[in-house]
Amino acid sequence: MEAGNTKTRFDMEQEIMQAWQVLDDVKMLSARAGTTKEDWDAVCRLYQIRFETLFETFEHCIKTGTVL
């Protein structure tokens, strides 16, 4: 997390909701003809970053006492 970037439990809630989008994205991609391994790799990388960001926010909220 960048220095000076204070996140709250509300940021964490937003990030959780965004992470849940993985289900819709997978359904959309799997329904589309002609998808490639590269397409799936890109989705995997996107959600790896999204979940890392979410966990960093969670750790920050625990550390600062925003979430107990």
Domain residue spans in the chain?
A: 9-64
Task: Please identify which residue in the block is written with the tokens 């989705």.
Answer: 43
Q: How confident is the model over 24-45, as a mean pLDDT?
A: 95
| pTM as predicted | 0.79
- Distance of CA 58 to CAs 20, 38, 42, Å? 16, 30, 24
Question: What mean pLDDT value characterizes the chain?
Answer: 90
Measured CA to CA, the distance from residue 47 to residue 55 in angstroms comes to 12
Mean pLDDT of 53-59: 94
Q: What is the pLDDT of residue 2?
A: 57
**What pLDDT score was predicted for residue 45?**
96
- Interacting residues of 33 by C-beta distance below 8 A, sequence separation 6+: none
Q: Is the pLDDT of residue 61 over 70?
A: yes
Q: Residue 1: its pLDDT value, please?
A: 58
